C-alpha cells in the first residue's frame, strides 16, 4: 500500500518493520528507504522481533530508534542493549560493533546524512560522546577483564548508563550538560 502511493522512496524511514518479507525488503533497497529498529517498543509491547539478519542480507539501510511512544527509554545506550536482546531472542547475533554502527552511522545513512554526521571522517560535523569505561564499579570490574575492543564495547553497552558519558560534543564544541 505504501508503495502504491509513492511513499516507499529515498529518505523514507519505516519504524519496526517486523512483518516484512524478502520482496518488501528488496523494494525498500531499490527505493532507498530505510528501517528504524526500535527494540524497546518491541520488548515492551511484545509485538514481534526485528529480523536484523534479513535486513543485513538484503542491504537495507537500518538505524536504531528509541520510539518512546511505544518504548521505555530515550537512551540510545539502553536501546543498544535491548537491540542485542531482540536479536538474541530471534536466534541471531548482533556484534557490539554492529550495535554501535546502527546507533551512529547506520542512523545517519538511513537519513542520508552520512556525509555530515555518524563518523569521524574529515569534514564531518563532530557530534560525539567521550565515554568513561570505568564510571561505575561494576562497569570498571567488567572492563578490567575485557581483552578486546568488542569485549569492552559489549560491557559498556550492557552495563553502562548516563554516568559513563564523560563529555558531549556538538559541532566539535564541548557542551556543558
The CA distances from residue 163 to 29, 68, 145, in Å, are 38, 21, 20
- Nearest by Cα to 27 from 8, 13, 12: 8
pLDDT tens-place string over residues 14-63: 999 999 999 999 999 999 999 999 999 989 999 889 999 999 999 999 99
Band (pLDDT 50/70/90 cuts) for residue 7 is very high
DSSP structural state of residue 171:
T
Direct distance between the N- and C-terminal alpha carbons of the chain, in angstroms, rounded to an integer:
44
- What is d(CA 33, CA 12) in angstroms, rounded to the nearest whole number? 5
- What is d(CA 97, CA 124) in angstroms, rounded to the nearest whole number? 20
Residue 177, pLDDT > 80, answer: no
Whole-number pLDDT of residue 37: 95
Mean pLDDT, the chain, rounded, equals 95
- The three-state secondary structure class of 125 is coil
Amino acid at each position: 500500500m505504501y508503495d502504491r502511493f509513492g511513499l516507499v522512496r529515498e529518505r523514507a524511514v519505516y519504524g519496526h518493520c517486523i512483518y516484512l518479507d524478502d520482496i518488501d525488503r528488496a523494494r525498500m533497497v531499490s527505493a532507498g528507504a530505510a528501517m528504524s529498529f526500535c527494540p524497546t517498543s518491541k520488548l515492551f509491547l511484545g509485538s514481534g522481533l526485528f529480523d536484523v539478519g534479513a535486513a543485513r542480507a538484503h542491504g537495507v539501510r537500518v538505524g536504531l530508534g528509541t520510539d518512546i511512544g511505544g518504548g521505555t527509554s530515550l537512551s540510545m545506550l539502553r536501546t543498544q542493549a535491548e537491540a542485542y536482546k531482540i536479536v538474541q531472542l530471534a536466534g541471531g547475533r548482533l556484534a557490539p560493533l554492529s550495535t554501535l554502527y546502527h546507533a551512529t552511522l547506520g542512523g545517519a545513512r538511513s537519513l542520508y546524512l552520512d556525509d555530515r554526521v555518524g563518523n569521524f571522517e574529515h569534514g564531518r560535523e563532530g557530534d560525539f560522546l567521550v565515554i568513561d569505561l570505568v564510571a561505575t564499579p561494576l562497569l570498571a570490574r567488567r572492563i578490567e577483564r575485557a581483552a578486546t575492543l568488542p569485549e569492552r564495547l559489549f560491557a559498556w553497552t550492557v552495563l553502562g548508563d548516563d554516568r559513563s558519558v564523560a563529555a558531549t560534543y556538538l559541532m566539535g564544541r564541548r557542551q556543558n550538560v
